[in-house]
Amino acid sequence: MTGPRLAISVGEPAGIGPDIVIKAARELSRFNTVLLADPSVLHERAEMLELDFPADSYLSGNRAPGLSIAPTRLVHSCRAGRADARNAPAVLAALERGVKGCLSGEFDALVTGPVNKAVMRKAGLDFMGHTEYLARLSGAPMPVMLLACETDPGRAPLRVALATTHIPLSAVPGAVTRERLAAVLEVLVQGLKRDFGIGEPRVAVLGLNPHAGEDGELGSEDRDVVARAIAEFGDPGVTGPWPADTAFTRDNLAGQDALLAMYHDQGLPVVKHAGFGATVNVTLGLPFVRTSVDHGTAFDLAGTGKADEGSLVQAVAAAARMVRYRSDHPEQ
C-alpha cells in the first residue's frame, strides 16, 4: 500500500514558509509530499540558507515517497522579509490548488504554511484566516479550529478547540449561542473520533466569564447559554462550563481529551505556552484532513536560517496519521 500524498501550501513567500520547508526537506521526503509554491522562491531561499533542496517536478502518477513542487507562480519577484501584496493572489491560488486536489482525491491532506492577514487585506482580498477560507472553498458549514500538543510523553495530550475564532473580543458574547455551541460540539466530538481515534471523547467546555459566571453573578451567559447547550447536547463525555483559570491544571487535563474554549485568546495562549513550535493546528469539519503550523510569517527571521521547522514537521506527521486512521477506520 502506498503512503499518503500530502500537499503543502508554503504560504507567504517573503516569510519563513520557504525556510521551514527547506530545513524540513529530509523529514518531508519520508512521505509523498507536494509543495504548492513558486519553485524559484524555494531554490533561491535554499541558496540563501546554504542548504541542499532536492525537490523534483510534480508528477501526478508518482506515489513514491519524495519531495516535489507543483508550481504556483508569483507575479512579482520576492525578497525574504519584504512582503509584496501583489503576490497575495498567488498565495491564495496555492490554497485553492490544494483544496481542489484534496476534494478530487489527488491529495490526501493539506498542510498549510503561514500567511499574513495584513498583506492579504492590503491586496484587497477577502481573507479572515485559513480556517474560514478553507471552509468557504470546500463548502463546510461549521469548521472548528483545534490546536494539539501531543509531543511530551510525560504529559497527557493537550488539545484545545475554539467556539469562535477570528472575531473581536467584543463580538464573542453575541456569537456564543446555544445553536453554535451544539454545532461546534458535534464537529469536535466527531473529529476526535475520526481523526484522533478516541472512541468516547471527553470534552471540557470552558465558561465564557470568570469563574464560569458564578451562577449568574459574573454574567448570565454561562448559566443561560453554555450550560444549557451542554445539557441539550446530551453527551455524558461533554462537561462544563468549567472555570477557565483552573481547567488547565495537570489533574484536570488528565481527565480530558480536549477542551473547548469560548474565544481565541482564552485557549490558545495556554497551548502555545505548553508547546510552541511543536503544536499542530487542525481544522475539524472539513471534507479532508487539514493541519497547519502554529506560528506566523516571522518576516524578521526569513532567510536567516533561524526559523524553527519543528511545527511543520509535527503538522506533516499529524496529517499522515489522520489520513491513515481515516483509511483504517472508514466507519468513523
Check if the beta carbon of residue 262 is closer than 8 Å to that of residue 161: no
- Same structural domain, 66 and 120: yes
- Same structural domain, 25 and 136: yes
pLDDT score of 152: 63
- Same structural domain, 118 and 39: yes
Q: CA-CA distances (angstroms) from residue 146 to 184, 192, 306?
A: 11, 10, 27
What angle is formed at CA 7 by the lines to CA 73 and CA 30, rounded to 5 degrees?
Answer: 120
Among the candidates 268, 284, 300, a domain finishes at 284
Task: Give the number of domains in the chain.
Answer: 2
- Same structural domain, 191 and 300: no
- DSSP bridge pairs for 33: 6, 67
pLDDT score of 151: 62
pTM of whole model > 0.75? Answer: yes
pLDDT score of 130: 92
pLDDT score of 110: 98
pLDDT score of 153: 58
- Same structural domain, 279 and 320: no
- Same structural domain, 170 and 219: yes
Residues 6+ apart with CB under 8 A from 130: 95, 112, 115, 281, 283, 290, 292
- Same structural domain, 128 and 147: no
Q: CA-CA distances (angstroms) from residue 256 to 93, 163, 192, 250, 253?
A: 39, 17, 12, 10, 5
d(CA 226, CA 7) in angstroms, rounded, equals 38
Buried b (16+ CB within 10 A) or exposed e, 67-94: bbbbebebeeebebbebbbebbbbbbeb
Averages of pLDDT over each 10 residues, the chain, 332 residues: 87 98 96 96 97 91 91 93 95 97 97 95 90 94 93 76 95 98 98 94 98 92 97 97 94 93 96 85 97 95 96 95 85 62
Cell of 77: 519577484
- Same structural domain, 3 and 115: yes
pLDDT score of 150: 76
pLDDT score of 117: 92
What one-character-per-residue DSSP string does 136-155 give?
HHHT-S--EEEEEE---TTS
- Same structural domain, 219 and 125: no
- DSSP bridge pairs for 281: 147, 292
- Same structural domain, 179 and 197: yes
Q: Give residue 161's domain range.
A: 143-284
Residue 163's CATH number? 3.40.718.10
- Same structural domain, 300 and 254: no
